[in-house]
Amino acid sequence: MSSQEETRFDPFALEQGGSFGQTVCRSLVRFLRERRLETLRRWARLAGGIGYVVARSPRRTALRNLRVAFGDSLARHERSRIAKASFVNLALTAVEACYAPRFERPMSNHIEVSGTEHLLEAHRKGKGILFLIPHMGNWEVSARYLTERIPVVHAITRRQRPEWLGNLVQEIRAGNGVVEIDNRNALRPALSALRRGEMVIMMIDQYMRNGSVDVHFFGHEVKITASAALLAARTGATVLTGSCFRLADGKLGGTISPPIETTVTDDRDRDLVVNTERYMRILEDFIRRRPEEWMWMYRMWRNHEKPSAARVS
């Protein structure tokens, strides 16, 4: 690794300055990075369990989502177990993302991925890669694996608030080699990146009111962004899906799918629905295999919420 790359991944290279909240948060990140990874994971499991108990609104949302997704096929105690595990996974993801610059390269020492040949073949074609993943496992650290194999990796993200927190998250992702694209104005930069043969990561497993299509997810209609299908149709980029998950030995695992067909006909609106539905079926399959690792506390099926639930979550 060159000296320039060593500087890029310096675990203590976060910039100084900002508000009191920013100073505290940056100090916390430095503190976490100085701890052993197993220690951080123990703390995260404890914090996730506590979060499940005290965060009443997100807990209710998670349990409601599980009831919508699985109906009566899951007993109440199973829904509770999965929801709690989801909180723990989110806490693990947060501390591992902070720690990520200390992972020794290559990342294959820390994450075992199947299907990497699909990624490399797509890159050789030079038409760009649209990589669709769900919020499961550790989606932040898994991106570090991708940046070792693809020269330029972008991710369409929702900017965190307040601004100083967004800047901190952006710096952490940049340390993993990922260039953020703000989802509020994502179309043009994403099109340009794909046409240059670069990779664009999208996490489309979230409710989207504007620029969306109605598709089925776990058997229920939900509004999902049409941007992925639109980008694929306009650029001819290779569409891949993948997921990250946790292994029993503490390592991360991952899988990358073969290329997904993009349907292009004279009926553009129908194509957006058909392609988005296809993507979501694959992501749903990933989640069904390991439901404990998906972000169930997110308000996904909003038409199933009672008015009071929508206000408090």
Structure tokens at 191: 């099109």
Query: Considering only CA atoms, which of 234, 278, 272 is closest in space to residue 259?
Result: 278
Task: Give how far Cα 147 sits from Cα of 150, 154, 216, 266, Å.
Answer: 5, 10, 32, 36
Phi, psi of 5 (to 5 degrees): -70, -35
Asked if residue 80 has pLDDT above 70, the reply is yes
Residue 52 and residue 83 in contact, taking contact as beta carbons nearer than 8 Å: yes
Query: Considering only CA atoms, which of 154, 201, 208 is closest in space to residue 177?
Result: 154
Split at pLDDT 50, 70, 90, the class of 94 is very high
Percent of the chain with pLDDT over 90: 73
**What does the pLDDT read at residue 311?**
38
193: containing domain: 3-312
Please count the other Cβ atoms lying within 10 Å of the Cβ belonging to residue 259. 15
Percent of the chain with pLDDT over 70: 91
Who has greater pLDDT, 158 or 222?
A: 222
Q: Rounded to whole angstroms, how far apart are CA atoms 201 and 56?
A: 32
Asked if residue 163 has pLDDT above 90, the reply is no
CA 210, 56, 138, 17: dihedral to nearest 10 degrees? 80
Cα torsion 267, 303, 293, 139: sign: positive
Q: Rounded to whole angstroms, how far apart are CA atoms 209 and 222?
A: 10
Half-sphere exposure at residue 148, Cβ-oriented, CA atoms within 13 angstroms:
18
Asked if residue 180 has pLDDT above 80, the reply is yes
Q: How far, rounded to the nearest angstrom, does the alpha carbon of residue 108 sit from its chain's CA centroid?
A: 19
**Helix boundaries (H) for the chain:** 3-8, 20-33, 37-54, 56-70, 76-99, 116-125, 139-147, 163-175, 187-195, 227-235, 268-289, 307-312
Q: Residue type at 87?
A: F
Asked if residue 250 has pLDDT above 70, the reply is yes
User: Once rounded to an integer, what is the mean pLDDT over residues 133-156?
Assistant: 94
User: Once rounded to an integer, what is the mean pLDDT over residues 52-61?
Assistant: 97
**What does the pLDDT read at residue 310?**
42
pLDDT averaged over every residue in the chain = 89
**What does the pLDDT read at residue 4?**
37
Who has greater pLDDT, 235 or 28?
A: 235
Asked if residue 12 has pLDDT above 70, the reply is no
**What does the pLDDT read at residue 162?**
74
| Each residue's pLDDT tens digit, 213-249 | 999 999 999 999 999 999 999 999 999 999 999 999 8
Q: Rounded to whole angstroms, how far apart are CA atoms 8 and 165?
A: 20
**What does the pLDDT read at residue 305?**
66
Q: Give the chain's domain count.
A: 1
Q: Rounded to whole angstroms, how far apart are CA atoms 128 and 105?
A: 25
Query: Considering only CA atoms, which of 124, 109, 300 is closest in space to residue 205?
Result: 300
Split at pLDDT 50, 70, 90, the class of 1 is very low
Who has greater pLDDT, 214 or 23?
A: 214
* Residues in the chain, overall count: 313
**What does the pLDDT read at residue 2?**
40
Split at pLDDT 50, 70, 90, the class of 26 is confident
Q: Rounded to whole angstroms, how far apart are CA atoms 52 and 297?
A: 10
**What does the pLDDT read at residue 8?**
42
**What does the pLDDT read at residue 177?**
86
Asked if residue 283 has pLDDT above 70, the reply is yes
Split at pLDDT 50, 70, 90, the class of 15 is very low
Of the listed ranges 3-12, 27-36, 250-259, 294-303, the one predicted with least confidence: 3-12
